[in-house]
Amino acid sequence: MDMDSQTAAQAIGAILAAIQIRLEEAARISHVATACAQAGSIGEDVTLALDIEQPVHEAGRLLDAASLLNRLTEGRSTWDRR
């Protein structure tokens, strides 16, 4: 399946929006964990902080996908010039 640069750009934009959502979720969790730590809720703060791992992991994989799409699109435009 061929993907033109406009389609790739739209897909990358959607992926970047999804990354932003995951990172905002991680930031919200971080704020709650910090508040728990400041309130002296030992243990609960660390338990909450561990919930950051999943959205950060997902953001990383989404970034990998955006990077791959970008490389494929750049490569295709180079091949088309031959």
Kindly report, residue by residue over 13-72, the tens digit of the pLDDT: 999 999 999 999 999 999 999 999 999 988 888 888 899 999 999 999 999 999 999 998
Regarding pTM above 0.85, the answer is no
Write down the domain spans for the chain. 22-73
Nearest to 19 by CA among 50, 65, 51, 79: 65
Token pair 């950060």 in the structure block, residue:
56
